Amino acid sequence: MMYASFKSIGAYLPKEVRTNQWFADKIDTTDEWIFKRTGIKERLIAAPDENTSDLGVKASKVAIERACIDVSEIDLVICATLSPDFSAMPATACLIADKLGIKDVMAFDISAACTGFVYAVSVAKAFVESGMKKNVLIVGAEKASNVMDYTDRSICMLFGDGAGAAIISTTDDKEKSIVDVQCSADGALSDILYIPGVGSADEKFMHMKGNETFKIAVKTLTSDVEKIMAKNNYTNEDIDLFIPHQANFRIIKAVGTALKLNDSQKVLTVEKFGNTSSASIPMAMNECYEDGRLTNGKTMLLDAFGGGATWGSAIIKFDGKDFIK
Among 4, 251, 279, 283, binds ligand UT7 (CB under 6 A): 251
What number of chain residues touch ligand UT7 (CB under 6 A)? Answer: 19
**Is 80 among the residues that bind ligand UT7 (CB under 6 A)?**
no
Closest residue to ligand UT7 using C-beta atoms: 210
Whether 68 sits among the annotated catalytic residues: the reply is no
**Is 273 among the residues that bind ligand UT7 (CB under 6 A)?**
no
Q: Pick the piece of the chain touching ligand UT7 (CB under 6 A) from 33-41, 53-61, 91-99, 199-207.
A: 33-41
**Is 247 among the residues that bind ligand UT7 (CB under 6 A)?**
yes
CA distances from 231 to 25, 53, 64, 181, 234 (A): 49, 36, 32, 11, 8
Among 8, 20, 38, 60, binds ligand UT7 (CB under 6 A): 38
User: Cα separation of 55 and 320, whole Å?
Assistant: 22
Q: Number of H helices and number of E strands within the chain?
A: 9, 13
Q: Pick the piece of the chain touching ligand UT7 (CB under 6 A) from 88-96, 125-133, 152-160, 174-182.
A: 152-160
DSSP type of residue 205: S
Q: Pick the piece of the chain touching ligand UT7 (CB under 6 A) from 89-97, 129-137, 209-217, 265-273.
A: 209-217
Q: Which is nearer to ligand UT7, 2 or 27 (CB)?
A: 27
Of 20, 94, 245, 286, the catalytic one is: 245
Whether 207 sits among the annotated catalytic residues: the reply is no
| Cα 137 to chain centroid, rounded | 14
Q: Which is nearer to ligand UT7, 127 or 305 (CB)?
A: 305
In sequence order, what are the residues at sequence separation of 6 or more whose Cβ sits closer than 8 angstroms to the Cβ of residue 42?
17, 18, 19, 20, 271, 272, 274
User: Cα separation of 238 and 240, whole Å?
Assistant: 7
Q: Pick the piece of the chain touching ligand UT7 (CB under 6 A) from 14-22, 142-150, 213-221, 291-299.
A: 213-221
Report yes or no: 162 and 12 within 8 Å, Cβ to Cβ. yes
**Is 171 among the residues that bind ligand UT7 (CB under 6 A)?**
no
CA distances from 67 to 17, 62, 110, 126, 305 (A): 29, 9, 23, 20, 28
Report yes or no: 248 and 214 within 8 Å, Cβ to Cβ. yes
Q: Which is nearer to ligand UT7, 61 or 215 (CB)?
A: 215
Of 20, 79, 94, 114, the catalytic one is: 114
Residue type, 140: G
In sequence order, what are the residues at sequence separation of 6 or more whose Cβ sits closer than 8 angstroms to the Cβ of residue 214?
248, 250, 251
Whether 275 sits among the annotated catalytic residues: the reply is yes
Give the footprint of ligand UT7 on residues 275-314 (CB under 6 A). Answer: 275, 305-306
Of 20, 135, 146, 275, the catalytic one is: 275
**67 φ/ψ angles, rounded to the nearest 5 degrees:** -85, -5
How does strand 76-80 pair with strand 135-142?
parallel
Q: Which is nearer to ligand UT7, 171 or 275 (CB)?
A: 275
- Active site (catalytic) residues: 114, 245, 275
**Residues of this chain that bind ligand UT7 (CB under 6 A):** 29, 33, 37-38, 114, 153-154, 157, 210-211, 213-214, 217, 247-248, 251, 275, 305-306
